[in-house]
Amino acid sequence: MASNRTKTTWIYFFLGCVVVAAGIIAPDRYGDLAYLIAAAQIVPVMLFSYRVDRAPKGLLLAIALIGTFYGLSAVTAGVWGETGVPRFVSNLFELVGGSLMVAGLVILVRQRRGMNTAAVIGDAMIVGLGSWLMAWVAFLQPTLAVSDEPLISSLVAGFYHPTGSVILFLMAVYLFTETKTNASSWFIGASVLATLMGDLIYALVDAGHLGAGVLDFAYSLYTLGYFAVAAAFLHPSVKSLEQTQSSGDSQRLLGRLIITTSSLVFPVIVLAASGPKSTADQIVRSISALVLASAVTLRVVLSVRANSDAQSELLKQAYTDALTGLPNRVLLLDRISSYVNELWRADREPTLFFVDLDRFKNINDSLGHSAGDEVLRIVAERLIGTVPREAMVARLSGDEYVVLDPTTRSLSNASALAERLLSVFREPIALAQGDVFVTASIGVASIDSISVKPEDVLRHADTAMYRAKDSGRNCMAFYDESMHERIAHRLAVETALYRALDRQELRMFHQPILDLDTGEVVGFEALMRWQQGDGTIVSPAEFIPIAEDTGTIIPIGAWALLEALTQLRRWIDDGVCSPQATMSVNVSPRQLADPNLPSVVSEALSRSGVDPSLLWIEITESVMISEPELALATLQKMKALGVRVALDDFGTGYSSLSLLQRFPLQRIKIDRAFVQGVADNPSDRALVRTIVAMGISLGLDMVAEGVESLHQMQVLSELGCKKAQGYLISHPVPADAMRSTVSALERLGRFPLLRGDHRAGQL
Ligand code: C2E
Ligand code: MG
Ligand code: MG
């Protein structure tokens, strides 16, 4: 378990500290033994870590190498008695160990994502140079002055100080960019610190600042360093040591800045405070200061450049679309406004082309988003290749592009360019999945007035684009003022419609359906009316399509069903109509596509207490064409409920015989368009005759809609259509007018003309 491992690690480290302490307190030679134990225990610990935790191999190797070089340095320096090896060799081992450590740390720092490695290395160089200068003044120059060792040996030893500072700096950068606390990192940090402190003591002794007596402490610190490394490998967090992390390094940047600046300030103070001791000293100081100054200058230049690069990248991101690299809405609006504000030459009229791909969603849904992205990129390229050089192609969002052409001179110019833009889509787009075809709808609006706002021009083009979509897609439409008014009106209707139900502005009117043979009212069709707050009555032909589009039809339709059925129940109970009279309720495509419809219907039936066989649902052909599976499933559920289905407006759509066979329909309603001509137009009459014959042979109930004259009624009856509704019989009337309507109709009995047969001969 991880927590047990953590505990074990700490106990191990504590024991290590005991060994170190014993090394300090116990007599001389014991310190050497402690060092030996510390160095030796590293091997099994690292093996364990590799086996159990799969500790990063590279890291293990690096630590082993570094440890070996430091160990060799200690041995050759005479920890276990004089070896006779020159000091120079020992110092070299130490320097190699230190350089390896620098390299390892650079690699670790590199793995921290989001960090500017070049900048860190630059800072590390400044730190190194700064501390070289300090080391020169504090240790090296004095050592050289007192020692009789060869110059090269002292120089190698001298180089170690800057290396140590760089190690410390990199270690700090690494540790402080840690996003999660990682104990292993901190143990390694402690080890590095202990080793460097040991080195410092050594250097102070060498330079004659401290007596040789404190060297024992230096060794104890090295010993501690080895135990800390062991603890780092024992701790379970060693696994994540090499993992890439993202670092939020803005705060740490300040820390780095402080360290880098101090590396600059302290040497300057030291240089100023102590004069050169010799000519050689003066040369070294001057060259070092020069190199340091150059490094700083370079670092500043690089960082300024990086900053300005980052800034322009940010600016680019703010103004362009990442997917296609095209200018985005912000840049487009900016450009439009520059055209709006400019005093335009009279012969030019900058024009906006709003290009929207048709049914782009289908590509995304069927081929996936990466295919969709590819299509968007290719379209962007093609558009750029098509427009004049001065024009801008922008991408607003999703599948919307805008071309802004400042060179347009006339309407015919604009329409030529729109044509060319449409032709961009004639060629198929080659994708990995195969060729696809897309088309686009284009809305065109020009910037013709100084006072207009950029957003308005964009909106105008957008409006025109919707007009193009409405007229069947893959075409263009020009913006004009009336379009704007239509849209504004529609928007007002949409908003008002949302509240109509709550405000009880909706009512049901009913139109009786008459049996032509008996003259009896056999049913009613429920037709919705919307009486707005100001008293104006809006026709369902106007508001039902809007309710369809916005989805308000769902609650409104549910209300209509319940209202109509409740009304029928009341009429039957009050004896207004016969107990077999039916109620027909119109159901729009959106309602039919709603999986809840069957439960809405059955709830309305049970709440009103009307038998399902008394309800007719009227649907139109469109939904059976566009979503046949869905429509079939819903209609079958209706049938299972015992509700019957009528096909409304028959003959106007794409009516096909297969439709009548495939769907569970029990009635067709012959559209008013044919009924109107049935008396006078032979071809209409022929058509109605065929429809009726076909309906009868399929066993369907037939109702004629929109009967306005006795003549029509007579002909229909002769053709075999036995049920009818229309203004001749009765307009749609409010509920409370139904009693008198029905009784007037029943008083009339069979329609007068039908009794006579003087016209029959004409049929
Ligand atoms: P529809 O279902 O075909 O309704 C028949 C339409 O013809 C009604 O128009 C009716 O008033 C009208 N009409 C009836 N007899 C005559 C006639 O002799 N001459 C003429 N010229 N017209 C006649 P209305 O009430 O304006 O309804 C229009 C359409 O709105 C309906 O056509 C129906 O599709 C839809 N609608 C009406 N109420 C509802 C509803 O509650 N829900 C849904 N989804 N649609 C409805
Ligand atoms: Mg109807
Ligand atoms: Mg109809």
Decide if 320 contacts 313 (C-beta within 8 A).
no
Atom of ligand 1 nearest to the CA of 527: 38
Told to judge if 627 belongs to the known catalytic residues of this protein, a careful annotator would answer: no
Rounded CA-CA distance 687/707 in Å is 16
Report the distance separating Cα 82 and Cα 75, nearest Å. 9
| CB distance 732 to ligand 1 below 6 Å | yes
How far is residue 612 from each of residues 387, 584, 601, 634, measured CA to CA in Å? 62, 12, 9, 15
* Percent of the chain whose predicted confidence (pLDDT) is above 90: 34
Ligand 3 geometric centre to CA of 652 (Å): 10
Instruction: Give the single-character DSSP code of 723.
Output: E
Does the beta carbon of 588 sit less than 6 angstroms from any atom of ligand 1?
yes
Domains contained in the chain, CATH given? 2-307 (1.20.1070), 329-479 (3.30.70.270), 507-750 (3.20.20.450)
Summary mean pLDDT of the chain: 84
pLDDT band for position 213 (50/70/90)?
confident
Among 260, 268, 262, 298, residue whose Cα is nearest residue 285: 268
Specify the ligand 1 atom closest to the Cα of 557: 42
For residue 340, give the nearest of 327, 331, 329, 349 by alpha carbon: 349
- Protein residues placing their CB within 5 Å of the ion ligand 2: 586, 618, 648
Candidate list 525, 621, 705, 718, residue with the active-site label: 705
pLDDT score recorded for residue 178: 60
In contact, 629 and 593? CB cutoff 8 Å: no
pLDDT for 759 beyond 60? no
pLDDT of 174 reads 74
Q: What is the pLDDT of residue 757?
A: 45
Between residues 229 and 383, which one has the greater pLDDT? 383
Checking if the pLDDT of 215 tops 80, the result is no
User: Which residue is listed with tokens 């809006």?
Assistant: 538
pLDDT band at 129 (very low <50, low <70, confident <90, very high): confident
DSSP state of 478: E
Beta carbons within 10 angstroms of residue 330's beta carbon? 12
Between strands 733-734 and 506-515, the pairing is antiparallel
Phi, psi values for residue 322, rounded to 5° = -65, -35
For residue 79, what pLDDT is reported? 60
Task: Name the residue type at position 372.
Answer: G
98 lines ligand 1 (CB under 6 A): no
Helices and strands in the chain, H and E counts: 29, 19
Lowest mean pLDDT among 28-37, 433-442, 593-602, 660-669: 28-37
- Whether 392 shows a pLDDT value over 70: the answer reads yes
Residue bearing tokens 């150059």: 294
pLDDT tens-digit series, residues 346-358: 667 889 999 999 8
Whether 563 and 607 have beta carbons less than 8 Å apart is answered as: no
- Residue 504 CA to ligand 1 center (angstroms) comes to 20
Residues contacting residue 105 through CB under 8 Å, at least 6 positions apart: 167, 170, 171, 174
Q: How far is the CA of 714 from the centre of ligand 1 (A)?
A: 23
Query: What tens digit of pLDDT does each residue of 73-97 get?
Result: 877 876 656 667 777 788 888 888 8
Lowest mean pLDDT among 117-126, 470-479, 649-658: 649-658
Q: What distance in Å separates the CA atoms of residue 169 and residue 109, rounded to the nearest whole number?
A: 11
The atom of ligand 1 lying closest to the CA of 728 is: 18
Ligand 1 in reach of 557 Cβ (< 6 A): yes
244 has pLDDT over 70:
no
Q: Does residue 276 line the site of ligand 1, with CB under 6 A? A: no
